[in-house]
Amino acid sequence: MTEGPCPSCGEPVDRRQLVCLNCGGRIGLRERPSWAREPVTPIATLLVAVIVIGAVLFGFAISELTSGTGDDGGGERVAQQTATEGPEVVSGGEQEARTAEEEPPTEEEPPPEETTPSAQGASAPDADAVPGWPEGVRGHTVVLVTSSDHAAALNVAREARGTGLEAGLIRSDPYDLGTGLWIVYSGRFTTREGAQRQAAQLGDRYPGAYPQLIQKSQ
């Protein structure tokens, strides 16, 4: 019982009452219990013990971690051991035998054979040097274009030679093939059938290409 006098009338009252039963004055709101006077419960005691034990364990863990990075040099010894073991593995006989097969060719091996300018000239006709028909030769050829414009016919012949065709340019008059014309031809054949096959193959690129016998007029 926490009894005391009423602040208003002095009658003995319980301090936990809200009002005095004698005079009706307020009592419970005038005095509030202090935490210092409250008894410590077992739960509070257990909570304090847990906090203390946790602090001790945390300090022990920090001590262990800091002692691992001391002057014992364990990490450095492991790193040095790894660094020294690396070259030994690389310099082993089995490793050399394995890497020798995977390595690219060394500079001592001869470089791949290159095509010389003379070989290029033999495989690809010179587009600028457009030949005429060989003197005194009678044979069949494929007429690609016939034009009265010398410059236009010459350009066609050069373009044909640039694509790899054996093309040439002749005048029509010496061979009785017209008057004042320029003829772009491709190839020389001993038979008309060979010229016909060539004309059929070039028909898509040169529409109207046809076989023609070339011989000098008497």
Report pLDDT digits (tens) over 47-80.
878 888 887 787 777 777 766 544 455 455 544 5
- Any domain includes 130: yes
- What is the Cα 180 distance to its own chain's centre? 62
Higher pLDDT, 147 or 110: 147
CATH number at residue 162: 3.30.70.1070
- Band (125; pLDDT cuts 50, 70, 90): low
| Whole-number Cα distances in Å, 20 to 35, 59, 131, 154, 208 | 25, 56, 139, 133, 133
- Band (38; pLDDT cuts 50, 70, 90): low
Would you state the pLDDT for residue 48? 77
Would you state the pLDDT for residue 21? 80
Does the pTM surpass 0.75? The reply is no
The two tokens of residue 196 are 């016909």
- Any domain includes 179: yes
Strand partners, 38: none
- Any domain includes 207: yes
Would you state the pLDDT for residue 206? 94
31 neighbors 15 (Cβ within 8 angstroms): yes
pLDDT in tens, 149-187: 999 999 999 999 999 999 999 999 999 999 999 999 999
* Domain of residue 143, residue span: 125-214
- Work out the mean pLDDT of the chain and round it to a whole number: 74
SS3 per residue for 105-157:
CCCCCCCCCCCCHHHHHHHCCCCCCCCCCCCCCCEEEEEEEEECCHHHHHHHH
The two tokens of residue 214 are 């070339």
- Any domain includes 91: no
- How many separate domains does the chain show? 1
